[in-house]
Amino acid sequence: MPGRGGRRCNSLGAVMAITSHASEPESLTSTPRPFPAWAEWAVRLFSRPLTWLWGRGFRMLGLLDAVALFALMMTINLVRFGLPSSWPTYPFSHYLVGFTIATVIHAAANYFTGLYEREPRLGRRPWLPRAIIATGIGVGVQGIAFVVLDRYLMPRWNLVVFLLLASFVLVFNRGVSRRLALRRQGPARVVLAGDNESMDRAAEHLAATDRSAVVTGRVQRPHRLVDAVIDSEATDVLLLDVTAFGSVYPEPLNSLELAGVGFLQRVSARETLLGLRSVREIGGMPFVALRSHTVPAHKVRLKRVFDLVLIVAFAPIWVPLIAGLALYVKLAAGGPVLYRQVRTGRNGSTFDCLKFRTMVHNAEEDGTARLATLDDDRIVPALKWMRSMRADELPQLWNVLRGEMSLVGPRPERPELVAEITKRVPGYIRRNELPPGLTGLAQVEGRYGTDAEFKLGYDIQYLVNWSLVTDVQILLRTVWVVLSRRV
């Protein structure tokens, strides 16, 4: 359709236009206070490699945290024991190695608890609770390291003091980082979107309570947001109409996010009562940050690490099991043993999904995709139990190893069926934000014939509430589903 195509082209052009404006020093006209000339020169010199690293999850704040935490460990030891020459029991090199390992552990804990996810410039989130969680996890891992390495990474009483102080060091670093960014970039340039009364009230609140924001544009209709952002060289958008989300998703939200523009939605008391946990205050008003992706990058990477750890740990069980099942399929139905089918993966990419072949040859000889049913006459009788126990899905562990799938996630569907379901179920494509899984919340809560729209509800709930605990719970429940042959 010409309208959709034109909108997409406009969105891509908007990204280029916004990005080019953001890269020009003169666009920061809100009285920024640049650093000395030598510091600005260093920023320009390293901007390209740092941008490349930024896109792959690296943050300078992470380096600052590592240095600060290592320094804290050294300081605690100095205060307690004096100069390194008088440190007890072990040589100085022993302490350096232990502190270095501990710093790496805490850096990983900080990353996987989301301390380095990009945040909108507007509004402040309470960092201390998350910093306490990250520090607690890091200290716990140090305890595990003691069991594995048979050595403390730091003296035990030092660990207690570190647990009390490290969280405040992390919060302090975030305050320093925010101040430095504000000094170099100047106040946030904000576009307000809503009715005139809401925009007037919001502008009044911002002027009275938030000196780090300047209103540079106003729009009443969301479809004009991209033009307003480009014209005013805005860094953030405040959506004041609590019912307008549907008019900005997926566009222009996707384009603005790609261009580095923050997008925040005001929430009323009714939305807050639903249990929103990430509400932030901006000018005395409650907002939530809008993102085109539900699951942040650090959670996607943590999920991948979790998958690999489990697969390697249980390899002595599943490798012989798959070999035995492959032999059974060969004897019961002949070759080929494996069946490959194109499925839709993360972000709409496609891959060859592996299964044990449980149907007769040429089950879809007309080339038309057909959903299997419980009493499908194409299933080989001797292999029906494999489908009812979902043992035919086990070869997909190879897809998990390759990163095409995950142990837990929305089940992968065929591209033809995805296109068909997307037409009648709005938002169905959102389920592809995570890699598809061997099992999922829809599989343990629903049934084989549960309607796609109801399954989507389970999939979105899984995306929004994902955690390692959730994956463990679903895996354990899947064992019961398989053993009880509940379909």
Same domain for 52 and 159, yes or no, is yes
Query: For all residues of the chain together, what is the average pLDDT?
Result: 80
Name the DSSP letter for residue 333: H
- End position of a domain, from candidates 289, 305, 320: 289
Same domain for 207 and 308, yes or no, is no
Same domain for 285 and 371, yes or no, is no
Tell me if 126 is assigned to some domain. Answer: yes
pTM, full prediction: 0.72
Element (H, E) at 127: helix 127-149
Collect contacts of 157-165 with beta carbons under 8 A, ≥24 apart: 157/80, 158/73, 158/76, 158/77, 158/80, 161/76, 162/72, 162/73, 162/76, 162/135, 163/135, 163/136, 163/139, 165/72, 165/76
pLDDT digit string (tens) for 150-208?
Answer: 778 888 899 999 999 999 999 999 988 888 877 777 788 888 988 888 888 888 888 87
Tell me if 227 is assigned to some domain. Answer: yes
Task: Give CA separation, 64 vs 126, 164, 173, 177, 232, in Å.
Answer: 19, 19, 7, 9, 33
- CB neighbour class for 171 (10 Å; exposed up to 12, middle 13-18, buried from 19): middle
Closest CA to 410 of 479, 474, 359, 468: 474
Same domain for 112 and 72, yes or no, is yes
- End position of a domain, from candidates 233, 260, 289: 289
> How far apart, in whole angstroms, are the C-alpha atoms of residue 1 and residue 446?
36
User: Which pLDDT value is given to residue 369?
Assistant: 57
User: Which pLDDT value is given to residue 24?
Assistant: 40
Tell me if 395 is assigned to some domain. Answer: yes
Same domain for 178 and 246, yes or no, is no
Q: What would you report as the CA-atom Rg of the chain, rounded to the nearest whole angstrom?
A: 27
User: Which pLDDT value is given to residue 327?
Assistant: 94
Phi, psi dihedrals of residue 24, rounded to the nearest 5°: -90, 125
**Three-state secondary structure call for residue 288:** strand
pLDDT digit string (tens) for 216-241?
Answer: 889 887 778 888 888 888 888 888 88
Residue type, 37: A
* 339 DSSP β-pair partners: 355
Closest CA to 154 of 217, 89, 213: 89
Same domain for 248 and 350, yes or no, is no
Tell me if 381 is assigned to some domain. Answer: yes
Those residues with Cβ within 8 angstroms of residue 251's Cβ, 6 or more apart along the chain or in another chain: 7, 8, 11
Sign (positive or negative) of CA dihedral 359, 363, 368, 371: negative
Same domain for 265 and 320, yes or no, is no
User: Which pLDDT value is given to residue 295?
Assistant: 80
Instruction: Find the CATH number of the domain harbouring 209.
Output: 3.40.50.20
Closest CA to 17 of 255, 197, 287, 368: 255
* 191 DSSP β-pair partners: 217, 237
> How far apart, in whole angstroms, are the C-alpha atoms of residue 196 and residue 214?
17
Name the DSSP letter for residue 35: P
* 282 DSSP β-pair partners: 285
> How far apart, in whole angstroms, are the C-alpha atoms of residue 192 and residue 450?
42
User: Which pLDDT value is given to residue 185?
Assistant: 75
Element (H, E) at 293: none
Tell me if 5 is assigned to some domain. Answer: no
Q: What is the DSSP string of 423-473?
A: HHSTTGGGGGGS--EEE-HHHHHS-TT--HHHHHHHHHHHHHT--HHHHHH
Render each residue's pLDDT in the chain as its tens digit; 487 residues: 334 344 434 444 544 444 444 444 333 334 455 566 766 676 666 666 666 655 555 578 888 999 999 999 999 999 999 999 889 888 899 999 999 999 999 999 999 988 888 777 777 777 899 899 999 999 999 988 888 877 788 888 999 999 999 999 999 999 888 888 777 777 888 889 888 888 888 888 888 776 678 888 898 877 788 888 888 888 888 888 877 776 777 677 777 777 778 888 888 766 655 555 677 778 778 888 877 667 888 889 999 999 999 999 999 999 999 999 999 999 988 878 998 989 999 988 999 999 998 887 766 665 555 666 556 777 888 888 888 788 889 999 999 999 999 999 998 988 888 888 888 776 677 788 889 999 988 888 876 666 667 777 888 888 878 889 899 999 999 888 888 766 5
Same domain for 190 and 176, yes or no, is no
Place of tokens 């099991």: 321
Sign (positive or negative) of CA dihedral 130, 131, 134, 136: negative
Same domain for 223 and 355, yes or no, is no
Which structural domain, as residue segments, surrounds residue 240?
A: 186-289
Tell me if 19 is assigned to some domain. Answer: no
Number of domains composing the chain: 3
Same domain for 193 and 129, yes or no, is no
User: Which pLDDT value is given to residue 20?
Assistant: 47
- End position of a domain, from candidates 289, 324, 340: 289
Element (H, E) at 292: none
User: Which pLDDT value is given to residue 373?
Assistant: 59
Tell me if 369 is assigned to some domain. Answer: yes
- The packing angle between helices 225-232 and 2-22, to 10°, is 20
User: Which pLDDT value is given to residue 21?
Assistant: 46
User: Which pLDDT value is given to residue 426?
Assistant: 67
Same domain for 393 and 445, yes or no, is yes
Closest CA to 204 of 284, 114, 119: 284
Same domain for 352 and 250, yes or no, is no
pLDDT digit string (tens) for 138-162?
Answer: 999 998 888 887 778 888 899 999 9
Tell me if 124 is assigned to some domain. Answer: yes
